[in-house]
Amino acid sequence: MGQRERTLVSPAGGVFRGRAVVMDAEDVRRATWRIAHEILEHNRGAGHLVLVGLQTGGVWIASALADVVRAVSATDVPVGALDVAYYRDDIGLRPVLPVAATEIPVDLGGAVVVLCDDVLFTGRTVRAALNALSDLGRPAAVQLAVMVDRGHRELPIRPDYVGKNLPTRRLEMVDVSPEGVVLGDMVASGDLGALGDAVAPEGEAV
Amino acid sequence: MTPRHLLSVGDLGLDGIDEVLRLADTFVEVGRRPIPRVPALRGKTIVSTFFEDSTRTRLSFEAAAKRLSADVMTFTGSSSSLNKGESLRDTVLTLEAMGADAFVVRHSCAGVPAQVAGWLESAGGAGGAGGAGGQPGSGASVLNAGDGAHEHPTQALLDCFTISRERERRLGYSPARPAVLSGLSIAIVGDIRHSRVARSNVIAFSTLGATVTLVAPPTLLPPSLEGWPVEVSHDIDAVVAKSDVVYLLRLQSERMHEQFLPSLREYTATFGLTAERARLLGPSALVMHPGPVRRGIEIAAEVADSPVSVITTQVANGVAVRMAVLYLLLGSGAPVGA
């Protein structure tokens, strides 16, 4: 889950060590472009659309999708950011703190909400997001767009739009940013010589 | 480590206060939603134990707990088994045995919340409530909602939040975090001697970087100000003119067992924020009061109702700030504090 996972998995410290570049910046850009078109196709235009990014990793994806939608359909789609910390089911099991206040700029009643996130993993974050949305209004429909679906679902949740399906092992980590998608592991910071190497991908493109 | 209790605002330190204010921002947003409630503390039981009269603090804590989906039990000293001779300790342990995860304690004696915390810790979490913040074997948390003339930490936190965010809103600038009050001059005026609000606010304001000036007749200052990071003045006109915040305190007649003042009218003339005196306020100054307000004594009614006054904003922010404190102690599992 990229940014979120990095802060959650290893409270004692530890760094992400990339092993393989799965998508480069150009791949991410193309996937964003395709997903935006799929959203427009599926919903027959941008009317009633609201793009809601999940804090933190989904926020840039929501605004990147909105940029494409604006370029393609000359429509300004409202973009929001949702922090689901208070809806998580692991409060009390590990530290849970919100990163930023939720910002939903429009009334969600009757809107088609596209939740945007970087990585879909267990589905628990999306479950929390669905509950949060229902406290914010009653959308006509909720859809899910993710850059990477890495499997290992623990809840009956599936994405509507996927940048890339990426088979992973449970303990692996996926780092998603506009610069690309990197598969790797969290390692104790002591295992690394220089921290500067930490996020430098070592493997070759898959 | 995760602190279990909030007994003094000094327990939090600069970073802890900043974290409460940051979380309060998220809870202000929650309060604006059509359904202003989050499930964060589902299954937790919070007991409000008020051994002294209160309107806003008790209701504010209870609203905060309910908006976090916690269960709330209300205990009032006057209608309890205390009247049958049960000791405070037995009362607390009885409530803990019913599954309380947190006690919000107000008492007219300083130190009671700390005493309650001590009893709960030595009882070793006998109640089935389980660990707050996931600490094994720990019992319930204690939140000080005002003890005698000692402290009122959540009032200080909501005051810091109000000053910081209200100045941001009115002046359009973002203060430097975490020291969000740095460079501000704050005057606390009135009955400092009997005021727990003043004690907590002196700690909180100075921790966040403000310069604090106390203004009061000598009889209403504490017997000693040694170690207080404050200046003292008896010239209210000069202080009002140069302060960014004028924080007025209520004359606590219920705690005045001897003659501290010649007369209320003289107090108002010398130390009250009258309409004439309010004209000395700077253009961006804020006037605050922890309530309950005694109009016409420490503050003129027209000043309390004018735009410089953020007294009702303080109350509104109180719920969000108390949600932040409850969530930090009971839910987040996050390390905070000095």
Q: How confident is the model at residue A15 (pLDDT cuts 50, 70, 90)?
A: confident
Q: How confident is the model at residue A191 (pLDDT cuts 50, 70, 90)?
A: low
Interface of B with A in 31-70 (CB under 8 A): 33-35, 37-41, 68
Domain boundaries, chain A: 3-189
The closest CB to that of B35, out of A83, A102, A135, belongs to A135
Q: So what CATH class is A3-189?
A: alpha beta
Chain A residue numbers with beta carbons less than 8 Å from the beta carbon of B29 are: 101-103
Q: Under an 8 A CB cutoff, do A95 and B333 touch?
A: yes
pLDDT given at position A201: 41
Q: Is B9-151+316-330 assigned to CATH 3.30.9.10?
A: no
Long-range contacts: B27-33, Cβ < 8 Å, 24+? Answer: B27/B67, B27/B319, B27/B320, B27/B321, B27/B323, B27/B324, B27/B327, B28/A101, B28/B317, B28/B320, B29/A101, B29/A102, B29/A103, B30/A86, B30/A102, B30/B67, B30/B320, B30/B323, B31/B67, B31/B319, B31/B320, B33/A135, B33/A136
Lowest mean pLDDT among A94-98, B64-68, B190-194: A94-98
Touching check for B129 and chain A: CB below 8 Å? no
The closest CB to that of B333, out of A92, A131, A132, belongs to A92
Q: How confident is the model at residue A205 (pLDDT cuts 50, 70, 90)?
A: very low
User: Does pLDDT of A194 surpass 50?
Assistant: no
> What is the C-alpha separation between B117 and B110, in angstroms, rounded?
13
User: Does pLDDT of A36 surpass 80?
Assistant: yes
Q: Under an 8 A CB cutoff, do B40 and A83 touch?
A: no
Q: Under an 8 A CB cutoff, do A93 and B134 touch?
A: yes
Touching check for B25 and chain A: CB below 8 Å? yes
Same fold, B9-151+316-330 and B153-310: yes
pLDDT given at position B31: 94
Q: Under an 8 A CB cutoff, do B28 and A101 touch?
A: yes
Q: Is B105 helix (H, G, I), strand (E, B) or coil?
A: strand
Q: Under an 8 A CB cutoff, do A102 and B29 touch?
A: yes
Structure tokens at A138: 């009653």
Domain boundaries, chain B: 9-151+316-330, 153-310
Q: How confident is the model at residue A1 (pLDDT cuts 50, 70, 90)?
A: very low
User: Does pLDDT of B129 surpass 90?
Assistant: no
Query: What is the average pLDDT score of chain A?
Result: 87
Q: How confident is the model at residue A5 (pLDDT cuts 50, 70, 90)?
A: low
Chain B residue numbers with beta carbons less than 8 Å from the beta carbon of A101 are: 25-26, 28-29
Backbone CA torsion sign across B68, B72, B77, B78: positive
Which residue has better confidence, B177 or A88?
A88
Which residue has better confidence, B125 or B308?
B308
The minimum CA-CA distance between A73 and chain B, rounded to whole Å, is 31
Query: What is the average pLDDT score of chain B?
Result: 90
Q: How confident is the model at residue A2 (pLDDT cuts 50, 70, 90)?
A: low
Q: Which CATH architecture has domain B153-310?
A: 3-Layer(aba) Sandwich (3.40)
User: Does pLDDT of B336 surpass 80?
Assistant: no
Whether the pTM exceeds 0.95: the reply is no
Mean pLDDT over residues A57-78, rounded? Answer: 96
Mean pLDDT over residues B4-22, rounded? Answer: 95
pLDDT > 90: percent of chain B: 76
Question: What is the tens place of the pLDDT at every residue in B261-298?
Answer: 888 899 999 999 999 999 999 999 999 999 899 999 99
Segments of chain B assigned E as strands: 45-50, 71-76, 102-107, 141-147, 185-189, 211-215, 230-233, 245-248, 286-288
The minimum CA-CA distance between A133 and chain B, rounded to whole Å, is 10
Question: What is the tens place of the pLDDT at every residue in B157-192?
Answer: 999 999 999 999 999 888 888 889 999 999 999 999
Mean pLDDT over residues A156-164, rounded? Answer: 97
Question: What is the tens place of the pLDDT at every residue in B71-99?
Answer: 999 988 776 777 777 888 998 998 999 99
The closest CB to that of A86, out of B38, B133, B134, belongs to B38
Lowest mean pLDDT among B124-128, B202-206, B225-229, B259-263: B124-128
